[in-house]
């Protein structure tokens, strides 16, 4: 049983490399991108979230079916502020959403994510350190799940993931997040 050699035709390991063969990889394979780990999905420090009706909404993907994940960013301040919001796919570095709208006082931006993929959500407050959060692909298959993000008056960013469906595994792999449910959710839904 003869296996084909890992070298292109005419390129063999010699004492002196042949022209054009010296730069070929010895494995013969293509380069693959190592996936970056997703950041945590929340911090467990967001208890009160009163985002109200959004002043704007965006969509990632097409609503082919009802399964999606909501991301709501709330300006928890009495002043209007520019807040950067970027949703990026770590495996391709594609950014299907990259905006910096002016949030009105206590205003919120809603993002409906229909395209099933892992995302890194970056929130850049005007006065504070940007925050990166993971939005896992399995969140999109949930019946009802959301990432809530509050940008506090001091520029700090707090976040949590909420779900009302058994099919949603919202606890992060690092164990830093705890699933929460909206008030009034029946115990059978948790």
Q: Would you kindly state where each structural domain of the chain is located, as residue ranges?
A: 54-163
pLDDT in tens, 30-76: 444 556 687 887 776 777 788 889 999 999 988 876 678 999 999 99
Q: Which fold has domain 54-163?
A: Immunoglobulin-like (2.60.40)
Cβ neighbours of 121 (radius 10 Å) = 24
Task: Check pLDDT > 70 for residue 116.
Answer: yes
């Amino acid at each position: 049983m003869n296996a084909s050699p890992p070298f292109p035709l005419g390129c063999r390991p010699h004492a002196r490399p042949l022209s054009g063969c010296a730069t070929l990889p010895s494995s013969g394979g293509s380069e693959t991108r190592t996936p970056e780990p997703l950041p945590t999905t929340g911090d467990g420090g967001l208890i009160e979230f009163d985002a109200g009706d959004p002043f704007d909404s965006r969509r990632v993907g097409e609503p082919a079916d009802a399964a999606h994940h909501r991301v709501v960013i709330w300006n928890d301040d009495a002043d209007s502020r520019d807040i950067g919001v970027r949703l990026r796919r770590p495996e391709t570095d594609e950014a299907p959403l990259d905006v910096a709208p002016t949030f009105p006082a206590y205003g919120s931006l809603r993002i409906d994510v229909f395209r099933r993929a892992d995302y890194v959500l970056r929130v850049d407050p005007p006065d504070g350190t940007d925050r990166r959060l993971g939005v896992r692909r399995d969140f999109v298959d949930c019946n009802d799940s959301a990432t809530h993000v509050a940008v506090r008056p001091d520029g700090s960013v707090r976040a949590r993931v909420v779900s009302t469906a058994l099919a949603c595994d919202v606890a992060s792999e690092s164990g830093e997040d705890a699933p929460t449910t909206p008030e009034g959710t029946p115990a059978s839904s948790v």
